[in-house]
């Protein structure tokens, strides 16, 4: 029987999961409620993740990173999200912002920004959306006009995660207004570039510790070598990026759901009604069983998608990567919303108060159904892949 193939995490990945869980419980969980209540950036989480090399594990070794595979990156995000969704956006968005550079950036560009990311000296955000270009990203209005050996960028990017905290921003801008999606190019903008500013923090339902702000570009001059790939390939790079990073949002959703399930299980075993633990009631047991089944199904699809993502990053052609990445994001986020809502229900009146973490987890879960492409968009993507 020993020669049978296995479908499981490696010993190294199991150790990674245990290490991140221990770190998250000790250094991140104690501050999660305050981070949410005060709507402040989780500085303690950033310090803990950087100190332990967990803030951007995906950066390849030649640029000073750990060179972790996509599934390992998923495990890090999942375990951090289990205790604090806001904190999990540190490794998740660092990957989102930098994957375009890894996919299409020049060696000069990679050498310029990736070592700082790997060292924890800088964070990396992704600036695609605009007020009138959310799901219709190709309708963006931000412009990049060539001026000698540089481009001048003007526009406003909206809903940018960790804006102001990150140093680097992958910015999509129109270089050929008459060419539609083929007229969009990608650039790396530095927070310290002249003309870069940020709007006020959005007042949000959840993930309150992760600042969401406008990135305002006013005559920002970006040298040509900071363009990602050839001119006109930005939208193609953006779509390719999402094939990899939707998996990270699925990982975040898994972590949020697991945290809610774990807390609900502990609560119903301790809470007594009618002379016995609430966990003895069959109705409660069925709820827990359904929560666990849906969560494990979403987890397996997410891990499956992560392995395909890794193979694609290494240059292998994966025809169904778009389908599985959209599917795991939609499924995991829908499951997270269901599981966290059920967790609130299992705690009854206590679940509705801020004294217990499940209401925060429910609020945090909602965003996973919206960003990185709404789940309605994911279903459109999946259907188009099926009908090709």
Q: Look at residues 85, 119, 153 and tell me which one is the last residue of a structural domain.
A: 119
Shared domain check, 284 and 381: yes
Those residues whose C-beta lies under 8 Å from the C-beta of residue 336, and which sit 6 or more positions away, are 253, 254, 256, 257, 298, 365, 368, 369
Average pLDDT rounded to a whole number, residues 181-202: 98
> Number of folded domains in the chain?
3
HEC assignment per residue over the chain: CCCCCCCCCCHHHHHHHHHHHHHHHHHHHHHHHHHHHHCCCCHHHHHHHHHCCCCCCCCCHHHCCCCCCHHHHHHHHHHHHCCCHHHHHHHHHHHHHHHHHHHHCCHHHHHHHHHHHHHCCCCEEEECCECCECCCHHHCCCEEEEECCEEEEEEEEEEEECCCCCCEEEEEEECCCCCHHHHEEEEEEECCCCCEEECCCCCCCCCCCCCEEEEEEEEEEEEHHHEECCCCCHHHHHHHHHHHHHHHHHHHHHHHHHHHHHHHHHHHHHCEECCEEHHHCHHHHHHHHHHHHHHHHHHHHHHHHHHHHHHHHCCCCCCCHHHHHHHHHHHHHHHHHHHHHHHHHHHHHHHHCCCCCHHHHHHHHHHHCCCCCCHHHHHHHHHHHHHC
Active site residue 372: yes
pLDDT of residue 1: 37
Q: Residue 46 belongs to a domain with what CATH number?
A: 1.10.540.10
Residue 4 lies in a domain: no
Residue 217 lies in a domain: yes
Shared domain check, 133 and 220: yes
Shared domain check, 86 and 40: yes
Residue 5 lies in a domain: no
Quick one: what percent of the chain has pLDDT higher than 70?
98
pLDDT of residue 344: 98
Shared domain check, 255 and 161: no
Q: Look at residues 204, 231, 258 and tell me which one is the last residue of a structural domain.
A: 231
Shared domain check, 251 and 349: yes
Shared domain check, 132 and 68: no
Give yes or no for a contact between 215 and 166, defined as CB atoms under 8 angstroms apart. no
Q: Residue 215 belongs to a domain with what CATH number?
A: 2.40.110.10
In this predicted structure, the answer to whether residue 183 has a pLDDT above a threshold of 90 is yes
pLDDT (tens digit, 9 = 90+) per residue, 243-279?
999 999 999 999 999 999 999 999 999 999 999 999 9
Residue 6 lies in a domain: no
Shared domain check, 129 and 97: no
Neighbouring C-beta atoms of residue 17, cutoff 10 Å: 17
Neighbouring C-beta atoms of residue 249, cutoff 10 Å: 31
Shared domain check, 337 and 308: yes
Shared domain check, 97 and 130: no
Shared domain check, 163 and 103: no
Residue 305 lies in a domain: yes
Shared domain check, 68 and 38: yes
Q: Look at residues 119, 141, 170 and tell me which one is the last residue of a structural domain.
A: 119
Q: pLDDT band at residue 3, thresholds of 50, 70 and 90?
A: low
- Which of these, 26, 238, 63, 229, lies nearest to 137 by C-alpha position? 238
Provide the residue range defining the domain that includes 144.
Answer: 124-231
* Residue of 78, 130, 165, 372 with catalytic role: 372
Residue 356 lies in a domain: yes
pLDDT of residue 2: 42
Q: Which residue did the predictor score with more confidence, 178 or 160?
A: 160
Shared domain check, 133 and 81: no
pLDDT of residue 138: 83
Q: Residue 253 belongs to a domain with what CATH number?
A: 1.20.140.10
pLDDT (tens digit, 9 = 90+) per residue, 103-159?
999 999 999 999 999 999 999 999 999 999 888 888 899 999 999 999 999 999 999
Residue-averaged pLDDT of the chain: 96
Residue 142 lies in a domain: yes
Q: pLDDT band at residue 4, thresholds of 50, 70 and 90?
A: low
């Amino acid at each position: 029987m020993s020669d049978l193939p296995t479908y499981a995490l490696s010993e190294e990945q199991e150790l990674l999961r245990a290490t991140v869980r221990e770190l998250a419980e000790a250094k991140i969980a104690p501050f999660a409620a305050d981070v949410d209540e005060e709507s402040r950036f989780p500085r303690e989480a950033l310090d803990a993740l950087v100190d332990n090399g967990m803030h951007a594990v995906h950066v390849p070794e030649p640029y000073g990173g750990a060179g972790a595979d996509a599934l390992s990156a998923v495990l890090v995000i999942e375990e951090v999200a289990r205790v604090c969704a806001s904190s999990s956006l540190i490794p998740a968005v660092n990957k989102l912002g930098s994957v375009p550079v890894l996919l299409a950036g020049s060696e000069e560009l990679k050498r310029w920004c990736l070592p700082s990311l790997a060292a924890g000296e800088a964070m990396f955000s992704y600036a695609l959306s605009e007020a009138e270009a959310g799901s219709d990203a190709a309708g963006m209005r931000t412009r990049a006009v060539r001026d000698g050996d540089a481009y001048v960028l003007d526009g406003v990017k909206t809903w940018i995660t960790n804006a102001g905290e990150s140093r680097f921003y992958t910015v999509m801008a129109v270089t050929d207004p008459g060419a539609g999606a083929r007229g969009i190019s990608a650039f790396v903008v530095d927070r310290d570039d002249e003309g870069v500013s940020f709007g006020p923090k959005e007042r949000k339902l959840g993930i309150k510790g992760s600042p969401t702000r406008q990135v305002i570009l006013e005559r920002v001059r970006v040298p040509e070598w900071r363009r990602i790939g050839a001119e006109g390939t930005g939208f193609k790079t953006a779509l390719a990026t999402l094939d990899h990073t939707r998996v990270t949002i699925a990982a975040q959703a898994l972590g949020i759901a697991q945290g809610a399930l774990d807390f609900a299980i502990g609560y119903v075993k301790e809470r007594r009604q009618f002379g016995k633990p609430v966990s003895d009631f069959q109705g409660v047991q069925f709820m827990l069983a359904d929560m666990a089944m849906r969560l494990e199904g979403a987890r397996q699809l997410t891990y499956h998608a992560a392995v395909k993502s890794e193979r694609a990053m290494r240059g292998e052609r994966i025809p169904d990567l778009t389908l599985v990445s959209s599917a795991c994001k939609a499924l995991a986020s829908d499951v997270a919303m269901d599981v966290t809502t059920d967790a609130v229900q299992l705690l009854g009146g206590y679940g509705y108060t801020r004294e217990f973490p499940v209401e925060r987890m429910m609020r945090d879960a909602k965003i996973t159904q919206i960003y990185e492409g709404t789940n309605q968009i994911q279903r459109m993507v999946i259907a188009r892949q099926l009908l090709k």
